[in-house]
Amino acid sequence: MATTGRTARPRVAVAKFASCDGCQLTILDLEDELLEIVSRFDIVEFPEATSRRSPGPYDIVFVEGSISAPEHIDQIKELRKQARVLVTIGACATAGGIQALRNWADHDAYRAAVYAHPEWIESLATATPVAEHVKVDAELRGCPIDPGQLTELLTAVLVGRRPQIRDEAVCRECKRKGIVCLVVASGEACMGPVTTSGCNALCPTYDRGCYGCFGPRANANAKSWSAGLLKSGRPPEEVRRIFAGFTGYAEPFRSVITELGKAKG
Amino acid sequence: MITTPAPSHAAAARQWFLARADLGALIDGLRDSGRRVIGPTIRENAIVYDEIQSAADLPAGWRDEQAAGRYRLERRADERVFGYTVGPTSWKRFTFPPNLPIASAHRTGSFGFEQPTPDAPPVAFLGVRACEIAALEIQDRVFLGGQFTDEDFRARRAAAFIVAVQCTTSSSTCFCTSMGTGPEVHGGYDILMTEIDEGFVVHAGSPEGAAIVAKLPTRRPSHAEAGAAVDNVESVRTQMGEPLPMAGINERLKLQLDHPRWAMVADRCVECGNCTMSCPTCFCTSVVERSDMEGRRSTTERQWDSCFDVAFAKVAGGDFRSRPRDRYRQWLTHKFSTWFDQFGSSGCVGCGRCITWCPVAIDVREELAAIAPPIAPVIRPVAVEPVAASPGSYSIARVATIRPETEDTSTLTLTDVDPAFLAGRPGQFVMIALPAFPAVPISISRFRANGIDLTIRAVGPTSTALTNLHPGAKVGLRGPLGTFWPVEEAYGRHAVVVAGGVGLSPLHGLVDALVANHDRFESVSLFYGSRTPEDQLFRDDLAAWSTGKAIDVAITVDRAGPEWKGRVGVVTTLFDMISWDCTKVTAFVVGPERMMQASVQGLISKGVPADRICVSMERHMECGIGLCGHCQMGGRFVCKDGPVFRLNELGDLFNREGI
């Protein structure tokens, strides 16, 4: 079956910035597909998996993590030069991640509170998504990314078509699965209406409101949704926290958080 | 209050009583007949439809409390099994699954596409409500009623045995009575059950249903039990209150495509699409293609999609419905308007799911009322009670003068008229008769201090006889009748009168009123077209208006001799003189129907809102009071509901031949 010539295999690199490595682990967790993937892609750079190193250029670079330290900026620019296609993976790379919450806080105070020798720590005052620094060709959302979307992307690369990654509300997946709406039937907080799908409604399937880890979908009406959450009797600070999750730095969630922060102050 | 009708002998003969404790026998019977039973059960804090093994799975003793954006389960005071309304699931999940493989393809060795054969094992739907049967019937029309059909749906629908249950309670979100789908189940079932205190009154609606019922431990219902079943359903209708005014909703919505409310509701709408997903009739889908990594084998899966999806109307060059307001409008107008054009009915059955399951609590009933409100009678009720209103009684008036207007048209000034006529309003008409001549409707062209003017074209026996009268002659009058020009509503706006030929007659009184109050309007104008200069009415008045400052008069004729120094061309050619903000125009249009159509088209293309264009329609009238049926135009009597209409009231009846 594997008749594709080895030499024709796309050279793939996986790189990381500020992140937990969970998205890289998702690649390694593709147990059923892994052998087929390595037979079709030449994974030449993948620190989470191998100590073997290989310089660019690369056909595809998967980038995990947000830009959080001074050296990251040069590194991502260099990677971009080496990458024919650059794909960001996960909430950190696509939206700044949970660490982007520091973008609303006093960075020096945090650093002093956490580290014994804050002067040894070189970090930027903000954690930002990769797309704020270089051009990104495709992104896989989520914390962590969805294995199905990852294989779909890889398949699309090989077949030569556009990956079928839909940008629709998580609600759509709940409804197709027949999950009863947690907002309407249980009064739960849920980011599903404004969050893009791809997780197959993972949290609502387990009776939890969506955390928004896949980030805002195109045209997300975050303003109306925050108004809806406020109307349900939640104080502004709580609504702010609901938005200020893994992808809070992504617009339009960012504006809601800033707005509700102002209301508090 | 509700009297219990004794069930007719035939109906009673077909009805059976099943004790609540024996409900399990029905489920067993359905399962024994080889059917999977899908019915109500409690899961995730809601009553959903799912596979039922036994009566223990049913939600006995539970009810649902529903409001916009809110659903809660509550204990009932009794152990009724079907004491709830409709939940988040609709039967379309089983007739039209959310994910369905529709094709597979391969190019390993050979090249080909395969279509799976529909696989629809026998199933029984337990607890189908009236609105849900209506929804299944809508699906029948959508999927099976046209040239191309959905064979998977056909198989699933045919495999479904329907156990309908009458609603004996309603939610605040229910509006089946407005959509004409409930609460009573009228057909479309194999077995129908009505729950009463002690159990169920059961009725078979098909031979298959009768076969199942025959095996149940039933007995004949008592007179009281059969009566209670009827009362229980009847009480739901009362519970739901007044139905919403849905008459003409198709046309009403079509006239409101530019309503500002679309943008307002889009500001609230989060476009999650939950309304469309919960709707029992929404049928939009997309296909997802999945393949192995080489693209040698693939499957195509159809998934429920929603017109609220940002990519739903996208093509390579852009998005046809790029704004949220476009998408909301698409959904609402499809459901309540264009669905009629495509499938012969509304797409809404009034189940209320889109209201309950909207996380931001948008209520379509409120949106419909705001965007396309029921069309009020054009004009406020007539200020004056007509005299001699019944078809046979007349009030006598005297002809004071007769003034020829054109070769065939004269104006009669009547005096000694009943004061009611003097209190009439421009736009109204009278029925006028002479002994031996049947009554004809004639517009009041002018209100005078002690009489009224009627401008009459001699086209039939009565009108000819009237124009041949002499001063002092007596005539019989009934009126004033019909609706009138809403002059006050044009205050502060540009009042534009467009008249064609003798159409100036019903407008003359209006022009008098506009001129008398000209400082209340932004501007007042008259565009008047006639075939030839000789066909002009009221030439003295036209001259006076033209020289005065109260009104701008523009006149044209279709054709004229060399002595004519004015404009030549149809009346719409005068519209190039319009320089105002046309959203601030109120227009009044009368003339031959073709002239009115062209004028209205011209005004709308300049931006005059449809509800600010008033027209006076002409139809055959015999009685003038909506009893003879001659002047019917769609759902309206021109004599009683008109003759003055706002254009939006007429919808697409205006401009349509053969109405």
For B294, nearest residue in chain A (alpha carbons):
A159
Q: What span, in angstroms and rounded, lies between the C-alpha atoms of B132 and B192?
A: 13
- Give the DSSP H/E element, type plus range, for residue A161: none
Tell me the CA distances in angstroms from A246 to A97, A105, B398, one per residue in order. 5, 16, 88
Please count the structural domains in chain B: 4
Q: Is residue B22 part of a domain?
A: yes
Domain boundary among B339, B371, B403: B371
Query: Residues B279, B302: one domain?
Result: yes
Write the residue in A40, A160, A181 that is nearest to B88 by C-beta: A181
* Res B648: pLDDT: 85
For A228, nearest residue in chain B (alpha carbons):
B360
In CATH, what number is assigned to the domain containing residue B476?
A: 2.40.30.10
Q: What span, in angstroms and rounded, lies between the C-alpha atoms of B562 and B192?
A: 81
ipTM of the complex: 0.93
- DSSP string covering B348-401, please? -----HHHHT-TT---HHHHHHHHS-----SSPPPSSPPBS-STT--EEEEEEE
As given in the structure block, the two tokens for residue A32 are: 């059923």
Residue A77 pLDDT > 90, yes or no?
A: yes
pLDDT band at A262 (very low <50, low <70, confident <90, very high): confident
Is A121 an interface residue toward B (CB < 8 Å)?
no
Strand boundaries in B87-144, DSSP class E? 99-106, 112-114, 123-128
Subunit contact A36:B69, Cβ cutoff 8 A: no
As given in the structure block, the two tokens for residue B16 are: 């059976």
Is A169 an interface residue toward B (CB < 8 Å)?
yes
In CATH, what number is assigned to the domain containing residue B587?
A: 3.40.50.80
Q: Is residue B638 part of a domain?
A: no
Q: Is residue B414 part of a domain?
A: yes
Query: Residues B70, B208: one domain?
Result: yes
Q: What span, in angstroms and rounded, lies between the C-alpha atoms of A69 and A122?
A: 6
Q: What span, in angstroms and rounded, lies between the C-alpha atoms of B350 and B280?
A: 10
Q: Is residue B21 part of a domain?
A: yes
Subunit contact B48:A180, Cβ cutoff 8 A: yes
Query: Residues B468, B581: one domain?
Result: no
Subunit contact B267:A184, Cβ cutoff 8 A: no
Q: What span, in angstroms and rounded, lies between the C-alpha atoms of B553 and B528?
A: 8
Residue that has been written with the tokens 């914390």 in this structure = A143
Q: Is residue B194 part of a domain?
A: yes
Residues lower than pLDDT 70 in chain B: 1-13, 375-383, 656-659
Query: Residues B363, B507: one domain?
Result: no
Buried (b) or exposed (e) across B480-497, using 16+ Cβ within 10 A? Answer: bbbbbbbbebbeebbbbb
* Res B383: pLDDT: 57
Contact A213, A90 (CB under 8 A): no
Gap from A229 CA to chain B (nearest CA, Å) = 9
Residue B19's SS3 state is strand
Subunit contact B69:A183, Cβ cutoff 8 A: yes
Gap from B90 CA to chain A (nearest CA, Å) = 10
Q: Is residue B656 part of a domain?
A: no
* Res A6: pLDDT: 46
Subunit contact B43:A180, Cβ cutoff 8 A: yes
Closest by alpha carbon to B252, among B363, B374, B343? B374
Query: Residues B224, B103: one domain?
Result: yes
Q: Which of B276, B293, B296, B298 to mutate to test the interface with A (most CBs of A within 10 A)?
A: B293
Query: Residues B224, B261: one domain?
Result: no
> Domains in chain A, ordered, with CATH?
6-159 (3.40.50.700), 170-264 (no CATH)
* Res A3: pLDDT: 44
Subunit contact A176:B304, Cβ cutoff 8 A: yes
Q: Which of A155, A162, A168 to mutate to test the interface with B (most CBs of B within 10 A)?
A: A168
Query: Residues B196, B214: one domain?
Result: yes
Subunit contact B48:A193, Cβ cutoff 8 A: no
Q: Which of B72, B108, B272 to mutate to test the interface with A (most CBs of A within 10 A)?
A: B272
Contacts of residue B65 in chain A, CB cutoff 8 Å? none
* Res B374: pLDDT: 81
* Res B378: pLDDT: 47
- Give the DSSP H/E element, type plus range, for residue A202: helix A202-205
Q: Is residue B216 part of a domain?
A: yes
Query: Residues B336, B410: one domain?
Result: no
Q: What is the mean pLDDT of residues A147-171?
A: 92
Write the residue in B269, B288, B359 that is nearest to A183 by C-beta: B359
Structural domain boundaries enclosing B365: 249-371
- CA B637 to chain CA centroid, nearest Å: 17
Query: Residues B525, B579: one domain?
Result: yes
Measured torsion, CA atoms of residues A85, A91, A92, A93, in degrees rounded to the nearest 10 = 10
Contact B630, B619 (CB under 8 A): yes
B620: left (phi over 0), alpha (psi -120 to 50) or beta: beta
Is A229 an interface residue toward B (CB < 8 Å)?
no
Q: What is the mean pLDDT of residues A222-241?
A: 96
Subunit contact B45:A186, Cβ cutoff 8 A: yes
Q: What span, in angstroms and rounded, lies between the C-alpha atoms of B495 and B84?
A: 55
Is A204 an interface residue toward B (CB < 8 Å)?
no
> What DSSP character marks residue B569?
S
Subunit contact B269:A221, Cβ cutoff 8 A: yes
Please write the tens of the pLDDT for every residue from A18-64.
Answer: 999 999 999 999 988 999 999 999 999 998 888 888 888 999 999 99
Residue B415's SS3 state is strand
Residue that has been written with the tokens 């959903």 in this structure = B48
* Res B88: pLDDT: 97
Q: What span, in angstroms and rounded, lies between the C-alpha atoms of B507 and B494?
A: 16
Contacts of residue A161 in chain B, CB cutoff 8 Å? 295
Query: Residues B90, B214: one domain?
Result: yes
Work out whether the CA dihedral B585, B591, B597, B598 comes out positive or negative: negative
Residues paired with residue B75 on neighbouring β-strands, in sequence order = B62
Query: Residues B260, B222: one domain?
Result: no
Q: Is residue B642 part of a domain?
A: no
CB within 8 Å of B546: residues ≥ 6 apart: B553, B555
Domain boundary among B456, B481, B506: B481
Contacts of residue B293 in chain A, CB cutoff 8 Å? 33, 36-37, 40, 151, 154-155, 158-159
Closest by alpha carbon to B410, among B459, B460, B458, B470? B458
Subunit contact A225:B44, Cβ cutoff 8 A: no
Subunit contact A175:B277, Cβ cutoff 8 A: yes
Query: Residues B109, B210: one domain?
Result: yes
Tell me the helix, strand and coil percentages in chain A, rounded to 5: 45, 15, 40
Domain boundary among B240, B265, B288: B240
Establish, for the pair of chains A and B, how many residue pairs have beta carbons separated by less than 8 Å.
Answer: 135
Subunit contact B294:A178, Cβ cutoff 8 A: no
Is A179 an interface residue toward B (CB < 8 Å)?
yes
Is A178 an interface residue toward B (CB < 8 Å)?
yes
Is A200 an interface residue toward B (CB < 8 Å)?
no
Closest by alpha carbon to B646, among B562, B589, B594? B589
Contacts of residue A225 in chain B, CB cutoff 8 Å? 270, 359-360
